[in-house]
Structure 1
Amino acid sequence: MSGPNLLLTRIDNRLIHGQVGVTWVNHLGANLVVVANDKVAEDEVQQNLMDMVLPDVIQTRYFTLQKTIDIIHKAAPRQKIFIVVRDVHDALVLKEGGVPIDHINVGNMHFEEGKKQISSTVSVDDKDIAAFKRLDELGVELDLRRVPEERGQNIMKLL
């Protein structure tokens, strides 16, 4: 049996918003967006707000990281899955937990105290850099780009 039909995993601390809900979903041809985040999995208000961004034909699931790890391999072949996580640490937990992530789109990581800005939309600290290096060691392609039309950059060259 083959693995889940995982189209892409995106790191975006905003999770589902216009860019993800319209541009990326259409570009990928996804019919299921899985938000893998422990806090959002328990927050129905946030889930409802994110659902409003997506067309009705796109299904969403809001899972904890562990639930994503536990059930991703049970996905039906017809499910074209786009996983969205809040940060690089969530992505690393999924990868190390056995989710077959081989390509990550690094879209948005807000600037905050103690982080350095490496692109117009991505800021990192030492823990983020260590997590990106671990993903790179695990063979994950790390592509920094906001929108599909943009030319991506290997984030490892910017760290």
Structure 2
Amino acid sequence: MEISFVRIDDRLIHGQIATIWSKASGCNRIMACSDEVAKDDLRKQLLLQVALKGIKAYVIPIETAIKAYKNPKYKNFKTLFLFTNPADVLRMIEGGVDIKSVNVGGMCYKDGKKQITGAISVNNKDIECFKKLYEKGIELEIRQVAKDNKINLIDRLKELKFL
């Protein structure tokens, strides 16, 4: 399986993914990877309805995504992986998925989180996971849409004195 793009966006599949990122990445598959969302049949069905025609979409648990990545029968998949949080990305990498770069596009504000951009808020667990990803050599970049300039997430966390 070829990884065409990896994004953290707690909305998972939505308009930007369907119209911008899927085209920019050249994917033919979208895998929204979340144990929680995979168990929620209503949310899962709503997410699958948003995908573009011609691009097969899945909402699956992390372990299923790891197994699919390693399965040779999916070698022709050019996959856009979506996650709701950095901990799940870390689980994928620790499970043997060869992720080199992660786009961070949307993590909504909730109590206990600190805002780092207008669209991204993080808690201490998120920061710790981003630090571990960075230490593994993973590029962590912030962009809302493909045409935006990349912002280094770790530099942003340091600038705000969160690291």
TM range (shorter): over 0.9
Does residue 107 of structure 1 match 2:117? no
Percent identity of the aligned residues?
Answer: 34
Q: Which runs of 5+ in 2 are unaligned?
A: 158-163
The Cα of 1:38 is off from its aligned counterpart by 0.5
Instruction: For residue 44 of structure 1, report the CA deviation from its aligned partner.
Output: 2.6
Q: Which runs of 5+ in 1 are unaligned?
A: none
Q: How does 1:61-140 map to 2 (within 5 A)?
A: 61-74=58-71, 76-140=74-138
The Cα of 1:43 is off from its aligned counterpart by 2.4
How many residues get paired? 156
Q: Find out whether 1:32 has 2:29 as its counterpart.
A: yes
Partners of 1:131 and 1:109 lie apart in 2 by 14
Give the whole-Å Cα distance in 2 for the aligned partners of 1:137 and 1:58: 33
Q: Distance in 1 between matches of 2:63 and 2:76?
A: 23
Distance in 2 (CA, whole Å) between partners of 1:80 and 1:33 is: 8
1:85 maps to amino acid? F
Distance in 1 of aligned mates of 2:6 and 2:33: 10
- SS of equivalent residue, structure 1 residue 105: strand
1:53 maps onto 2:50 in alignment: yes
SS at match of 2:23: helix
Q: 1:143: which partner in 2?
A: 141
| Alignment RMSD (CA, Å) | 1.2
CA distance in 1, matches of 2:40, 2:76: 28
Counterpart of 2:70 in structure 1: which amino acid?
H
Please report the TM-score for the alignment, with normalisation by the length of structure 2: 0.91
Q: Which has the higher helix share?
A: 2
